[in-house]
Structure 1
Amino acid sequence: MSWISGPLLAFDLETTGTDVETDRIVTAAVVRLEADGSVSAELTWLLDPGVAIPEQASAIHGISTERAREHGLPAAAAIEEITRAVADGLRSGTPLVVMNARYDLSLLDRECRRYGVDSVSERLGDAPSPVIDPLVIDKHVDKYRKGKRALHALCAHYGVRLDDAHDARADAVAAARVVRRMAEKHRPVGAMPLEELHGLQVRAAAEQSLSLQAYLRRTADPAAVVEPAWPLVPRRREPAA
């Protein structure tokens, strides 16, 4: 039976910025979707990230520093709950859909380190798997298509409705529905066993990073480096004492 005929767990974050090493989680969602695309369970969080939320980030997801401080959960407690929900889902064998997984999963990993919480990898004894990333798969199966690859663009291309973009729950649901449509259109992806699909994405993400790095070195920065690891960017080594 193909994985598209079973449930999917979708995960999404909205954050203070785009740096996995320094930025913080503001909202999060873990949503279970059944084979027909319906939502059967969901968990959502609003956090007080412990830092001011930049205006640029607030303009995207709509959460101000004041709102997060007044209504958000303490970050450490919320990070524990989010990480447990992601790890429990993967432990059950349900594939985890994450748009641009190397960002969301790496940022969650760094938040765990920040607050002394066991990471997803530590709970599972290995890196998160199986993960399904619509961004990586779309770039692999439709390499030369022009245009943007952000979630709203993928939704438009694959005919998936996206209401309330940049709401963590809405984005998680849309990502899971997009990846099902993608797998239906590109049947070899839908027929692939999850372990093979995960491995394919590891290789594809590395190839995509190498291609982007080569482009940047030609056009912008001769020293540009684009991280090839997926779905989790390795933690930076601590400087020697």
Structure 2
Amino acid sequence: MAHNLKLRKPLAFFDLETTGVNIQKDRIVEISVVKALLNGEIESKTFLVNPGVPIPLESSLIHGIYDEDVKDCPTFKNFAKTLAQFLQGCDLAGFNSNRFDVPMLVEEFLRADVEFDIKNRRLVDAQRIFHMMEPRNLAAAYKFYCGKDLENAHSAHADTVATFEVLCAQVERYAGVKIKNDKGELYEPVQNDVEALHNLTAAKIVDFANRMAYNSKGEEVINFGKHNGKRVVDVLAQEPSYYDWMMKGDFTLDTKRKLTEIKMRAAFGKK
């Protein structure tokens, strides 16, 4: 398998199977990575993971992985450093990855106390492109773009390979295709450039749980509750206890980390 993507550094496509969809409470049971290299070749790895908690039957019925399948497998913490090394220097791509897979992966690395910095990584979500251009799901995307039926759906490897093929097909299909933006102006959203694809699908993320967002001026604002829409720096200045409430509350480690970054930046007068 080869690819047609123009890359500045390796692009790692990945998919997770998990015990559930709660980023804070659920755990990874399988991860598959297909890494597109600069020379046009790919590398792939798939890991079964012991989540350390029982896998709910409703989840097992979806992805086909049961407690018995992973009881002798390493925990995420056991191979987190190995996985981080495999992903070192890579941009990241997936299907609905910016809303689920990347946040879940970041949370697992934080729990394992393994450094996994995404600040210098481009994040490409093929689902965002698909929903913008052809609103449907992965199986439909695979059928639409690749002309094939998705066999073994909800297998991490099958879904990862399908996502890889879908993005390659999207880049080729939408080369030169223009659509109107919210101002009615024509522009070409899908380009064979990971920086452009990142800006299209992931550039406006503050925290992966979406508890904060950017307003029209590019400022971080609270995205829930009584302070919804207010600038984070203003809320922290006017109600200092709000920071402690969030740090002690049922929020993801990523959200707490980002909130702390904003607080520290404000304290030292950095933009």
TM-score by length of 2: 0.63
SS state at 2:130 partner: helix
Counterpart residue number, 1:235 = 254
Runs of 4+ in 1 over 3 A off after TM superposition: 5-8, 33-37, 188-193, 203-206
- Would you say 1:158 and 2:150 are equivalent positions? no
Determine if contact 1:4/1:190 at 8 Å carries over to the other structure: no
Match 2:27 to one of 19, 24, 29: 24
Runs of 5+ unmatched residues, structure 1: 210-222, 226-232
Mapping 1:179-198, distance limit 5 Å: 179-187=167-175, 188-189=188-189, 191-198=191-198
Report 1:75-86 matches (<5 A): 75-86=76-87
Greater displacement, 6-15 / 44-53? 6-15
Counting matched residue pairs gives: 198
Q: Residues of 2 paired with 1:155 and 1:171: CA distance? A: 10
1:205, distance to aligned residue in structure 2 (A): 7.8
Higher relative contact order (CA 8 A, sep 6+): 1
- Conservation of the 8 A alpha-carbon contact between 2:146 and 2:165: no
Task: Check if 1:74 corresponds to 2:53.
Answer: no
Question: Could you list the per-position Cα deviations for residues 187-218 of structure 1 after superposition, in whole angstroms to 9, with x for gaps in the alignment?
Answer: 14553532222112235889xx9xxxxxxxxx
Q: In structure 2, do the counterparts of structure 1 residues 129 and 73 end up closer, same or farther at CA, with 3 Å as the change threshold? A: same
In structure 1, what is the equivalent of residue 51 of structure 2?
49
Please say if residues 160 and 177 of structure 1, whose CA atoms lie closer than 8 Å, have aligned partners that are also in contact. no
- Give the CA deviation at 1:131: 2.1
1:149-179 per-position Cα deviation (integer Å, ceiling 9, x unaligned): 3211211221353222111111111101001
CA contact (8 A) 1:20 1:106 kept: yes
Q: Give, as a single letter, the amino acid of the residue that structure 1 aligns with 2:197.
A: L
Distance 1:173 1:33 in 2: 11
Q: Cα distance 1:183–1:205, how it changes in 2: closer, same or farther (>3 A)? A: farther
User: What amino acid maps onto 1:56 in structure 2?
Assistant: E
Deviations 1:112-144 (A, max 9, x none): 12121212x1xxxx52622221111112234xx
Alpha-carbon distance in structure 1 between the residues aligned to 2:80 and 2:66:
19
Letter in 2 for 1:29: S
Do the aligned partners of 1:129 and 1:198 also contact (CA within 8 Å) in 2? no
Counterparts in 2 of 1:34 and 1:25: CA distance versus 1, 3 Å: same
Q: Bigger CA drift: 21-30 or 189-198? A: 189-198
1:200 paired with 2:222, answer no
* Partner residue, 2:244: none
Contact 2:171 2:192 in 1 (8 A): no
- Residue 157 to residue 3, structure 1, CA distance change in 2 (3 Å): closer
Identity rate, percent: 28
Q: Do the aligned partners of residues 79 and 117 (structure 1) sit closer, same or farther apart at CA in structure 2, a change above 3 Å counting?
A: same
Counterpart position of 1:175: 163
Structure 2: unaligned runs, 5 residues or longer: 176-187, 211-224, 229-251, 258-271
What is aligned with 1:213?
Answer: none
**SS across alignment from 1:236:** helix
TM-score, length basis structure 1: 0.70
SS in structure 1 at match of 2:254: coil
1:135 to 113, 124, 127: 127
